[in-house]
Amino acid sequence: MSRIKAKWRPPLAFVIGGTLAAVLCLPLIGIVWFRLAGNILGWGETGWLIGWMAVVSTVVLAFLLWRLVLRPVAKLTDYAQAVREGRTDTAPPVHFGTPEFGALGASVIAMGDTLQSRASSLRAYADHVTHELKSPLTSLRGAAELLQSDLPAQDQTKLIHTIETSAARMQALLIQLQRHAAASQSSGPGQTLVQALPAMVGGVQIVVLQGGTVPLSLGDLTVVIDQMAQNAAAHGASRLLLQLRGDALHIADDGTGIGTGNAGRIFDPFFTTRREDGGTGMGLTIVQTLLSAHGARIALDDQTMNGGAAFVIFFD
């Protein structure tokens, strides 16, 4: 609603009533004027005058209807078409002819934002699941290859346990994706207490120095923190510190930190310093995409809390 500029516009009932009144009254005025002025100006001149008055009145009415009704409807239709085609860079209309069209436009724009947010959120979560499926798939492939060789019974039991664990992890990820898709049908982005996060995520201890409520669902916030925890663990961190200050969530770990030469590339898709260890470079990209779907953004934090890598999430 805030995108629509607040300017006085006549109500739709006034526009329709004025048009009907003009259609009713103008012929009557023409008849009266023809009878009164016919004897003074002459019947021919009076007829021409009334004709020109009718043309001018029609042009004025057509302009008002175009400006107050047809143009807003056309712009709103174009915007809805752009949303349907996935053209997210299309700016929504900000001017509407009547308060009723303004309310309709605000509803359509809000609906478009919600649909785009849900689609972006689902895409980000699908990226997260795909990213997470890599490890159990690698374990399954390796276990299957080893089982084809002659191994002692004890080693075979360990490999079977690895297969079962990896399969359970994959099933859990798919269930989370299904739940996330169902949760995306809710009416709003959700509100979650930072303190609601589990104490351990991805083998990293979560320490909430200063909590509060953030405008993310618990599922989305967990995905963000899970990716941050995995990145922290990969760089030797054992703790992830969270501190909510106003509309910004500060996140820091106690790992080795980020090299100066890599600071400008860490948000690039597929950039990783651990490619030989199986890193894909998609963790922070998934976080960035998921936050963007909710109107938030992430950046490096210059004020580190624990000497390691530090980030800040802005909820604008």
∠ CA 286-290-296, nearest 5°, is: 125
| Weakest mean pLDDT among 1-5, 35-39, 65-69, 216-220 | 1-5
Do 204 and 291 share a domain, yes or no?
A: yes
Domain-located, residue 103: no
Phi and psi at residue 97, to the nearest 5°: -70, -30
| Weakest mean pLDDT among 83-92, 225-234, 260-269 | 260-269
Domain-located, residue 105: no
Domain boundary among 188, 213, 240: 188
Cβ–Cβ under 8 Å, residues 206 and 198: yes
Domain-located, residue 104: no
Cβ–Cβ under 8 Å, residues 210 and 244: yes
pLDDT in tens, 268-286: 765 666 655 545 566 777 7
Residues of the domain holding 46: 12-97
Do 147 and 127 share a domain, yes or no?
A: yes
The CA distance from 86 to 94, in Å, is: 20
CATH of the domain at 179: 1.10.287
CATH of the domain at 195: 3.30.565.10
The CA distance from 180 to 166, in Å, is: 21
The CA distance from 153 to 225, in Å, is: 39
The CA distance from 297 to 265, in Å, is: 16
Average pLDDT of the segment spanning 35-62: 70
In the chain, the number of structural domains is 3
Range ranked top by mean pLDDT from 120-134, 207-221, 263-277 = 207-221
Residue 35's Cβ-count burial label (10 Å; 0-12, 13-18, 19+) is exposed
Do 89 and 27 share a domain, yes or no?
A: yes
Average pLDDT of the segment spanning 227-252: 88
The pLDDT assigned to 186 comes to 45
> How many residues make up the chain in this entry?
316
Do 214 and 133 share a domain, yes or no?
A: no
Average pLDDT of the segment spanning 160-184: 70
Do 199 and 152 share a domain, yes or no?
A: no
Do 44 and 163 share a domain, yes or no?
A: no
Range ranked top by mean pLDDT from 8-22, 53-67, 181-195, 240-254 = 240-254
Do 202 and 300 share a domain, yes or no?
A: yes
The CA distance from 126 to 176, in Å, is: 10
Q: Which DSSP symbol is given to 289?
A: H
Going by C-alpha positions, the residue among 297, 284, 223 that lies closest to residue 258 is 284
Do 193 and 315 share a domain, yes or no?
A: yes
Average pLDDT of the segment spanning 231-246: 87
Q: In this predicted model, which residue has the larger pLDDT, 120 or 92? A: 92
243 Cβ contact list (under 8 Å, min separation 6) = 208, 209, 210, 249, 250, 252, 305
